[in-house]
Structure 1
């Protein structure tokens, strides 16, 4: 069951990340062209949202390739939150840096630095929050005994007993002792 759970949570991250990246892009776009910002900073170059949507969808797919290279779709069991945030930060930063470099060479492609900056901030925030939600759901399922990794505990000393106690108390670790040697 553990392998199925790992696979499920690994696969579900792909469309969730894509959705969060798209939402981040559109949030940046509508923030820039909304009254809150355009009232203070006049809009010089306006891109129709349909054209922007093509850029967002293409950029989101490219970002997911960067996410995969960064190891964000690794199926190696439970993930540490700090490592996950670090990878998200660097992957989003790498993707935005590539977009900045592309716009440097072709100014016609995209000219709003504000949208790029806000899309970067929103992408880190939205992907991180979505992954926190997935991790929360995964831990809650562990607590209900779903998707646990079966482990054999070896040893009879104090450390072994403390480890057994911790695994039994903290179901969120995702482990279940099936045998003790």
Structure 2
């Protein structure tokens, strides 16, 4: 689980150094398509799409920052927020065009690191230090930028956790990141959430 922190540290460092950005702004217009757990990893039936809210995700994470007990779902919330970082590299924030000023929140990237460290520490103290993934760990996903586009019906793709993790290992070794790596880490965090939720 410590490798999750190292991966996010590398991604945040890259984002800050090469793009000069330290703050992510979200607002009440930041919604996204998602296949909820446990259906997001089930392939015997058609997945159902739901709509998630980044403001609601961040509100849940704020509770952890303020001293509340972390839950398995917090990994999924953090994964959604991390995926937005990738979107904002490719497209400007909706905050500039559609969201209400009252509903805007600035998230400092170092807060993402702090949250992940808190979540990992909580579960390590509970005896969870590692989770296994294998080449059969596939999942449903709506890829960016479609995952936040509500003007059309989203199309689902299939992701591979073992491929995601292999690419994140590259970030750790080579210290070179891409925008897609934020999405990969988001998927890995969703898996952590699901596996911990089963225990």
Fold match (TM-score > 0.5): no
TM-score by length of 2: 0.25
Normalized per residue, the structure richer in helix is 1
| Higher RCO structure, 1 or 2 (CA under 8 Å, sep 6+) | 2
Larger radius of gyration: 1
Normalized per residue, the structure richer in strand is 2
